[in-house]
Amino acid sequence: MNRKADDWMDLYRKDSELEEEFIIPEGPVLFYNELVADHSANPRNVGEITDADGVAVVGDPTCGDQMKLWIKIDDGKLSDVKFTSNGCAGAIAASSMCTVLAIGRTIQEAKQLTDDDIIIALEGIPQLDKNCSLSGVAALQEAIKDYESKCSTN
């Protein structure tokens, strides 16, 4: 090596050859990104709605996640959505994001929310958490069905 004594800073520069050798691994995401971590640590819209128009309970006994979701409808729109969850960090984050996306939508718009919408809004979730984490949309759809069944019997 023909380095001078003052070339110590070169040790901290990136080597383009090393960068070319680094390959981003393909496959499932195995960690929580900052947005998922934030929604997990600081979930939005947690709680109950005492005079809810629709309620649902969904859960996956194989992983222990269970969620209860309440909706309030005003003028054909979801004016409030709240949830409680016993589950992993991914399930809490996905449920939180589901409520954020649902509030303010019409019933028809809320019915069109998908698991993919939640994943995209959270900028991805760990592959291993997908089955448990996506109970929010299922609960939302069930709560809307509950609301609609109450409306049809009145």
SS3 55: strand
- pLDDT at res. 24: 46
8 Å CB contact between 79 and 73: yes
Residue 100 pLDDT more than 70?
yes
- pLDDT at res. 119: 87
- pLDDT at res. 150: 94
State which H helix or E strand residue 66 sits in: strand 65-74
For the record, the structure tokens of 147 come out as 């609301």
Q: What is the mean pLDDT of residues 50-61?
A: 90
Residue 25 pLDDT more than 70?
no
Sheet holding 65-74, edge to edge: 54-60, 65-74, 77-86
Q: What is the pTM of this model?
A: 0.76
Q: What is the mean pLDDT of residues 3-31?
A: 51
Least confident span in 34-38, 64-68, 91-95? 64-68
Least confident span in 55-69, 85-99, 112-126, 135-149? 55-69
Q: Give 135's contacts (C-beta < 8 A, 6+ positions apart).
A: 58, 59, 60, 65, 66, 67, 85, 87, 91, 94, 95
8 Å CB contact between 61 and 148: no
Return the CATH fold of 29-153. Sufe protein. Chain: A (3.90.1010)
Q: What is the mean pLDDT of residues 130-147?
A: 86
* Rounded (10°) angle between helices 89-102 and 34-41: 90
